[in-house]
A and B are shown apart, each in its own frame.
Chain A
């Protein structure tokens, strides 16, 4: 079974850092791009960023709202994607999801998603 499991969420003060992890199983982790999304309480979905597979350069792209503060990385030997969040703001409070990204030609879709991990930023 293809599965993603996030971990590492929690309560953090504004301005501090937190790293959340996404562990994959049931598929060739290194062959896929991995994306991160978030959903603030009671709100819609927001794409945070993604990391390409090493075969496609392992490069990253980010939403403007997190660029320069968040960093996505991957360790394919451990089957883990990371989201390092620095300089956290109260508006970063959300459930953070990772998702496997399938790239076909120039199209992309996201499946499966992990169960999510809650990040709360509050003093």
Chain B
């Protein structure tokens, strides 16, 4: 199975900050990497697919980059509704595995 490692596991930031979350895969994925946001008690929401494609309806302050084994999710200017947990997921092959999550908290 492909192992996905996210860092950091948690992050404190302020409204307006720029934040970056990284995800590393145990083998090359080309660009088969998705990012999700999960609010407490809610279902995950797709933000980015194919490493850098913004899902329809997602604000452009979210962006994704990377290929191969190293990927990043960047939020350019944090808004109050962005404080949540973020997961990366590889879709290169089954089983589709997730990173352990990054909890973004208000400083």
Hey, which bits of chain A sit against chain B, CB under 8 A? 35, 37, 44-47, 50, 61, 63-64, 97, 102, 104, 106-116
**Chain B residue with Cβ nearest A61:** B94
In the complex formed, the residue of A with least CB distance to B100 is A44
By DSSP majority rule, is chain A's interface helix, strand, loop, or mixed? strand
In the assembled complex, the Cα of A44 lies from the Cα of B44 at a distance in Å of 11
| Closest-CB distance, A62 to chain B (whole angstroms) | 9
B binding-site residues for A, Cβ under 8 Å: 31-32, 34, 36, 42-46, 49-50, 55, 87, 89, 91, 94-101
Contact A109 B49 (CB under 8 A): yes
Q: Which of A47, A112, A113 contacts B97 (CB 8 A)?
A: A47
* CB closest chain-A residue, reference B95: A63
- Are B95 and A116 in contact, CB atoms less than 8 angstroms apart? no
The answer on a CB contact under 8 Å between B95 and A110 is: no
Contact of A45 among B42, B45, B50, B98 (CB under 8 A): B98
The answer to whether A44 touches B95 (Cβ under 8 A) is no
Assess the B34–A110 pair: CB atoms within 8 A.
yes
Please name all residues of chain B whose beta carbon is closer than 8 Å to the beta carbon of A116 when the two chains form the complex: 43
CA distance A37 to B98 in the complex (A): 11
B89 to A: closest C-beta gap in Å: 7
Determine if B100 and A108 form an interchain contact, defined as CB atoms under 8 angstroms apart: no
Q: Complex Cα distance A114/B42, Å?
A: 9
Task: Decide: A113 and B49 in contact? CB cutoff 8 A.
Answer: no
In the complex the two chains form, what is the Cα distance from A108 to B98 in whole Å? 14
Cβ contacts A to B, 26 pairs, < 8 Å: A35-B96, A44-B100, A44-B101, A45-B36, A45-B89, A45-B98, A45-B101, A47-B95, A63-B95, A64-B95, A97-B44, A106-B32, A107-B31, A107-B49, A109-B46, A109-B50, A109-B55, A109-B91, A110-B34, A110-B46, A110-B89, A111-B45, A111-B46, A112-B45, A115-B43, A116-B43
Bound-state CA distance A57–B76 (Å) is 42
**Which of A104, A106, A107, A113 meets B44, CB within 8 Å?**
A113
Kindly list the 7 A-B residue pairs having the minimum CB-CB distance in the complex, ordered from nearest.
Answer: A109-B49, A111-B46, A113-B43, A47-B96, A108-B91, A45-B98, A63-B95
Asked if A111 meets B43 with Cβ closer than 8 Å, knowing A47-B95, A61-B94, A63-B95, the reply is no
